[in-house]
Amino acid sequence: MPTPEFILALRKHVGHDLLWVPGITAVIFDDDGRVLLNRRADTGEWALIAGIPDPGEQPAQAAVREAFEETGVHIEVDRIAAVVAEDPLTYPNGDVVQFLDITMRCRAVGGRARVNDDESLAVEWFPRDALPPMAHRMRERLDLAEKDGPTWFVPPTADG
């Protein structure tokens, strides 16, 4: 996935040190209950649609933008399914990042699923019982988005 310009500018000041970055994951369902996945160009893995909001961009708007940019599908955001601080991640170039991910349950309202930019190798709708292999955290986000109920988060511990 291309690194946003504002992150590249920050990296000029902080080098490879840890950056705390907002992220969004859009779990997109169609009218048949299928979920939209993309095969990421950077890793080759199947994943939910995800990205980084631009500075000042509302998270739901970022989900709408990322979904269309990556897949050609227009969406509406129904609700926030989960908010999770991910573990720090070190990229091959040494950059360290930690995402605060906001996972949103979304529904397709138009467009046609296709590879719409250079961030995806493939874009496809999958029934829940025929998902391709994907990272455990992606399956967890999908599970949370499928459930009705309050937003999921890691509860605070007794020591703060």
Q: What is the rounded distance in angstroms from the CA atom of residue 95 to the CA atom of residue 82?
A: 26
The domains found in the chain, sorted by start residue, are: 15-147 (3.90.79.10)
Q: Which of 22, 18, 20, 16 shows the shortest CA–CA distance to 95?
A: 16
2-49 pLDDT per residue, tens: 788 999 998 999 999 999 999 999 999 999 999 999 999 988 999 999
Q: What is the DSSP letter of 138?
A: H
Shortest CA distance to 36 belongs to which of 147, 100, 117, 111?
A: 111
Q: Tens of pLDDT along 57-91?
A: 999 999 999 999 999 999 999 999 999 999 999 98
Dihedral sign computed on CA atoms, order 135, 64, 146, 148:
positive
Query: pTM of the full predicted structure?
Result: 0.91
Residue 148, number of CB atoms within 10 A of its CB = 6
Per-residue pLDDT band for 154 (boundaries 50, 70, 90) equals confident
Residue 160 clears pLDDT 80, i.e. is over it? no
